[in-house]
Structure 1
């Protein structure tokens, strides 16, 4: 069978202030029609850069320095800008990693999807609206007739990612490049989306170029897996074979770091401790634009966070997890109920007290792009909280930033780099370093490790546990990754439709779930482990 996509000896370099840096070196691989090929590897290995080169969407300082990218027999490296515009969307669909950087905040979601249909002559007017509703329903967005008129900020992070997936599938492309397409999604929606991608592959011959750091997902969903390390492909083969019997040492390291429900816990054993945070009867209601209706995002939620402990909230996208986190951070006000921090009700804090409170409580958000000023070198971003709170002089803050970078497994030399020069996982590590700068008592981590590859994720979880032991830190950990939650948590609360439906220790929730909903979440985790799963059921392909 003739490959739909054939990459031959592709090399990509980036210009930096000091020198050119090679990000991809002599990469070769192919994707057959209807085939799913997953590229896995740690953050910065060259996965996303390879995908961006295929679509000719490299950053301004990036360039293809050698090789060919043959799509349907045509070398895209030599294609003109106009030719690439025609190919993107219609021939090659894209689901990028970051929804906030790829959705227009001033356009309604429905209009953005319809625009993709209209640009490529697929549908206009009523036909486009009908297709948009079909796509929103397809990717699991509830009540699409109402949601079609909403803006990106009115969607949860997971729902924004689903909207991007709808845009990528809108024109029924021959090849879909999916760059971490489900990293922001809870496991039940992830399964629904990936099932749909498989259905497209089977029915229409759509090929999927899947970029992921989730090895269990790759094993379950891909026909072929290519492992990248430091810009090169070090191992390629059928998914089941390569993940069951890896030959390369790097692949074995990746597999050893994959978290599972049987992974060794990094959290200390539970012990009694006084409560740092007490949440009682918390409720948050949002008006729905243009309807006169209201959405209850958080409803009668109560829980406590003891000092030096990790409390996790899990649940589907839109369940109220992130809204709860924002209320605790003082970024939004509750409709009713109370949040007491160290005995003080947040609702009663004045401007000065709120400023002091925010030194003691620091966030790490889901989206590292939105957390960092694109104009600031990362060292300056890390030191910024110290400057705002007037901690130390310029030299001391610079030294502290370098030390914090090393704490999150990044070289101190990275302090001079701008955010766009870092991978998604590297940016998230910078965000974590920044949150730790003021030595807070409570860190609110909202999907803080979802963008990280398994090797870095394991390092960050160990780091969080170590800091908790050393500094007595408390964590509110918001996540859809249940294996990670089990590893790090002392207490777990399961949220659904704004309410906590089940609470208990990590062992209670994962070993003896009481609610059907909790059991559904556990059952939807990709694979029991990364060995077994799909392994080339439809065969094919060499890299």
Structure 2
């Protein structure tokens, strides 16, 4: 019996980027095949060339990107030889794409449903009422409730996780024969991630579609892929069946990725354990006390004159002892990020109290709130969006010092050098702009900026979810080290329970605005009492990495 040709065949692909007169190699002689019905996961750290390889397949490289050698065949057609018009016809219909960043891939001025319908209409898949019906079907398929109403909303009315689901719906809209999924679930909680990946599995089973999965999550690749390709510095260093590669990795870099991947068996960082044991500044005295916290949002109703209210946080109570890490976990829409914004003073409380160092935030005047912001600092999820692209590293880190009128230009420069050293970045980096930094380096800059005012509490909202496992491990170690040195308290918001286990002293599980279970990481993970907690644990990929 003759083996059918692969849907996708990459042969000796090389890609470089122009920098002035120079061509800088990014992908070197890469060869990968993906058969119908097969999922091939390409893993590697940031800068390994995996996303560049995916962009080259679809001919969507940046303007300075050049395919300098090799061939890319899709169903026998050589894509590098096709005209742009021919590629436009293929994109979306033959080759689907699920990109990573929903904010830069959704039009903020168009309703979500219109954007999905546009994909269907451009490729002649459906028009008019049929397209509208397919939009609702797709949104329901990717787990968006009230799909018909949500289709009429704009991207800014969706959470980050829900925007990512919209991109997945668009990628699947025309039932492509090859789906390129570039970090498709990195922004999603584990339960939604499982639902989406189950849907991708169903697509390959029903239609024989090939899936080219780009991920930094080795656990996800282990669970979902038929084969894994490991890339390092633009080259394929190892590939093979998922089970075989995980059981017996041959390359040192693959072994390094496996060692860095967090799993449910991961223990707390040794440096973090120093703080948890009572060393340094850690005490049981609460720095933050949250009592019966409630936050309601007014929503536009589809019917005029009928405003609706959405309760995002519903009767939440917890405390953060000094020098400890308290984590809140839950799926997208559970209320965890809204809770973080309330603690930061970025949202008004509907009812309940938040006391910081014994003082109720609701009673603070403008001057007192300004002083409070010196003591509490955030680190947000997206290292690409949290830094001003026009500011150098030094300007970004020193901005809080300038706003709070601390020191002069010379002393601020000295403080920036100290902070760069604290987050393990060379002082020479101070003159670089954000686009010259990797994702991990940007997140270190964001942490340095958060530390500039010597805060007592740092609120970390999905601060490592966008990072590959090696950088993630470095950032978690850095956070634990800084906590031990400076006696910092952390409120850690995450959908990644394996990461939470590595960093937390106390864990609260949120569902639909309420805390449904609380306890130490050991108690929550080893003996969950709530059905929802068990569901979150069951949905975590990578059980094979837990040994």
TM-score of the pair, normalised by structure 1: 0.93
Given the alignment, which residue of 503, 506, 518 partners 1:488? 503
Q: CA deviation at 1:506?
A: 1.2
Q: CA deviation at 1:492?
A: 0.5
Structure 1 residues 419 and 129: CA distance shift in structure 2, 3 A: farther
Partner of 1:541: none
Listed as ranges, the gaps of 5+ residues in structure 2 are none
Q: CA deviation at 1:345?
A: 1.9
Given the alignment, which residue of 96, 107, 112 partners 2:110? 107
- Comparing 168-177 with 3-12, greater Cα deviation is found at 3-12
Partners of 1:14 and 1:382 in 2: CA distance: 30
Q: Indicate whether 1:387 and 2:402 are aligned.
A: yes
What SS does the aligned partner of 2:384 have? helix
Q: Indicate whether 1:10 and 2:21 are aligned.
A: no
Partners of 1:47 and 1:417 in 2: CA distance: 25
Q: Deviations over 1:445-474 (max 9, x none)?
A: 111111111111111111111100110111
Q: Indicate whether 1:288 and 2:284 are aligned.
A: no
Partner of 1:275: 286
Partners of 1:414 and 1:61 in 2: CA distance: 24
Partners of 2:443 and 2:226 in 1: CA distance: 30
Partners of 1:425 and 1:93 in 2: CA distance: 28
1:291-440 correspondence runs (5 A): 291=302, 292-394=307-409, 397-398=412-413, 400-401=415-416, 404-405=419-420, 407-408=422-423, 410-440=425-455
CA contact (8 A) 1:101 1:369 kept: no
CA contact (8 A) 1:92 1:174 kept: yes
* Larger RCO: 1 or 2 (CA < 8 Å, sep 6+): 1
Partner of 2:61: 58
Q: Deviations over 1:239-296 (max 9, x none)?
A: 1111110000010011011111211212323554211111111111111213421111
- Comparing 449-458 with 368-377, greater Cα deviation is found at 368-377
What SS does the aligned partner of 1:371 have? coil
1:11-50 correspondence runs (5 A): 11-16=14-19, 20-50=23-53
- Comparing 148-157 with 199-208, greater Cα deviation is found at 148-157
TM-score of the pair, normalised by structure 2: 0.92
Partner of 1:513: 528
Q: CA deviation at 1:347?
A: 1.9
Q: Indicate whether 1:501 and 2:501 are aligned.
A: no
Q: CA deviation at 1:300?
A: 0.6
Structure 1 residues 207 and 20: CA distance shift in structure 2, 3 A: same
CA contact (8 A) 2:263 2:545 kept: no
- Comparing 425-434 with 195-204, greater Cα deviation is found at 425-434
Structure 1 residues 412 and 173: CA distance shift in structure 2, 3 A: farther
Q: CA deviation at 1:163?
A: 1.1
Q: Indicate whether 1:121 and 2:124 are aligned.
A: yes
Q: CA deviation at 1:50?
A: 1.4
- Comparing 491-500 with 357-366, greater Cα deviation is found at 357-366
CA contact (8 A) 1:428 1:451 kept: no
Q: CA deviation at 1:404?
A: 4.3
CA RMSD in angstroms comes to 2.1
Partner of 1:257: 260
CA contact (8 A) 1:379 1:416 kept: yes
Q: CA deviation at 1:394?
A: 4.3
Partners of 2:46 and 2:286 in 1: CA distance: 36
Partners of 2:338 and 2:247 in 1: CA distance: 40
Partner of 2:470: 455
Q: CA deviation at 1:381?
A: 2.7
Given the alignment, which residue of 231, 234, 243 partners 2:246? 243
Q: Deviations over 1:192-245 (max 9, x none)?
A: 110110000011111111111111110111011111111111101111111110
